[in-house]
Structure 1
């Protein structure tokens, strides 16, 4: 039995009938100590503490339930990432009851994954995010009183990687794309949609007349309306004329493509493009918007970012692009000034002044 403080709040931490209980008391250490003594007396007398019994749930059972929740409520890419995270988490905590998992154990898991497992801190952060959300759901489902991962500190991560293509590289890539892949890449470059959002597109959600796409299968499950520009409009009209089913991007039998990883990687290799993934097409879309001096809030809306923080990674490109433009202007002006200085009229004028 003990009292402890987290932030400005004091908590009680004790075992009752084989179950660990943590309960917030208030901001007074003295009140927390008195409350703990009262509980000690009640336990000694066998009195009812008024604590509602919670089911004894194993981590592995909860993780299986959470994975089903993830598949139902999250985008496919997110649920697949949760499945991978839960594989490692279940290997570490699977046979423990949820109430027995402590903050210290979670911190030890973090350390061992990095030092012994050799994985990056960013990977562990994704696993911890999954764990924290799963335990939050466990609290909602009545399996826990409090989330032990609530106060966990993530590893520091470097700024997000931004790799984008220049116009000449885009031309090279499109020339190397096979017929089935080219319209998918054109869509990514002109909308910034994620691969899962593109491959899940149905013709019912593509409005060629109003030049809009309603994206329903988004990462955060919030539909958004995306405009269709002229290059994409031409490509979609061509596809629509020979459509094979409900899905925009599908094989000859009308089945949607699940992934285009291999085909895209091969096209990049033939085009001589290195260190580039399909997701970087999304970065290319946002980067060129930023370099065109598009308002950062507009980029956020087009990208479907929940917070402006994600979009701010592109803001420096706008400033960099402006700096380069001014630099080119400086070179042009300096060259013009040099020519003026070398011209006969300028020489005569200088002679007359002297």
Structure 2
């Protein structure tokens, strides 16, 4: 690494973080050459150096496909969802090179996109875009993330539809044979439909009473406890299972499909309106809270990364607020009692 002069022009000579050698023309000023070399040293040390000659022609649409192929598919069960998000982003940004996209471009995308879809959908797309650039930086194909500093749309808390006990009974009565155990698993674990349908017998530990989800929506492993009722039902299913590794499968052993349609029909027969399969998760969490389970435990059982997600259910349990201040009151009463006793003893001694 160093600077050198040829004729009247100064050059810098350095190696990047990958061991590749680079020479750059700076100009007639030695001081500028020294400053340019110092800047490159910092970029290399912080792994932020980008060979513009090599990467300036990388189109966003091309890298986005690499993101799907080498990140989403191997790491996320929801990679098909990522593919749709990428398609939406590419329609607006795909013609630009990766390093050309600015925060202003993203602001324009927000403005145009929200005319066609909900703000929540735009936020999911921006989140995907942010993840794309994080991978690009990690893989040495970008030095900055233009999504950083861009404000996401404010979202409402969304719907919180759950079933009362009588609705649960009516739904289960109308579920066909193949659907009923799937619904029971959802009601007793809060698992997502995709997680349930991808369950294999090897994911169940009957001794420890746990279901192990290897790759959840968040891309992390998760342990889901089974209560005795669910444990007994799963054991009965295992005794009659003849179709391979998947717990819920077709006769050829492939994971069961068509559940949404079957579930919708069961809800209609049961007279239950405005209810999706995903709302069984809300039902699971809501009944936990109404039975006195604390919100931190609900967060863990639901597999939520953020505690704010569990706070959606707080209004269902005003008792936990009363209990909190009551516990504090009891502790305060003990302190005051001890203080009063000491005060009385002091007065007596005097």
Q: Same fold (TM over 0.5)?
A: yes
What SS is found at the alignment partner of 2:155? Answer: coil
Q: Which residue of 1 aligns with 2:91?
A: 91
Cα offset for 1:257? Answer: 1.4
CA RMSD in angstroms, aligned pairs only: 2.2
Aligned equivalents of 2:83, 2:259: Cα separation in 1: 21
Q: Cα deviations across residues 255-288 of structure 1 (Å, max 9, x unaligned)?
A: 2114511111111111111111111101100000
Cα offset for 1:160? Answer: 3.1
1:107-122 matched pairs, under 5 angstroms:
107-115=107-115, 118-122=116-120
Q: Cα deviations across residues 144-202 of structure 1 (Å, max 9, x unaligned)?
A: 11111111100111113211000100111111111111100000000111111111111
1:315 and 2:317 are equivalent in the alignment: no
1:1-354 matched pairs, under 5 angstroms:
42=26, 49-50=36-37, 51=40, 52=49, 53-54=51-52, 55-56=55-56, 57-68=58-69, 69-74=71-76, 76-77=77-78, 79-115=79-115, 118-244=116-242, 245-258=244-257, 260-319=259-318
| Alpha carbons 1:211, 1:227 under 8 Å: kept | yes
Q: Which residue of 2 aligns with 1:31?
A: none
TM-score scaled to structure 1, two decimals? 0.74
| Alpha carbons 2:61, 2:94 under 8 Å: kept | yes
What SS is found at the alignment partner of 1:226? Answer: strand
Aligned length in residues: 279
Question: Against the structure 1 CA distance between its residues 196 and 43, is the aligned structure 2 distance closer, same or farther, given a 3 Å change threshold?
Answer: farther
> Structure 1 regions of 5+ residues with no counterpart?
1-40, 324-354
| Alpha carbons 2:294, 2:320 under 8 Å: kept | no
Question: Against the structure 1 CA distance between its residues 104 and 224, is the aligned structure 2 distance closer, same or farther, given a 3 Å change threshold?
Answer: same
> Structure 2 regions of 5+ residues with no counterpart?
1-24, 41-48, 323-350
TM-score scaled to structure 2, two decimals? 0.75
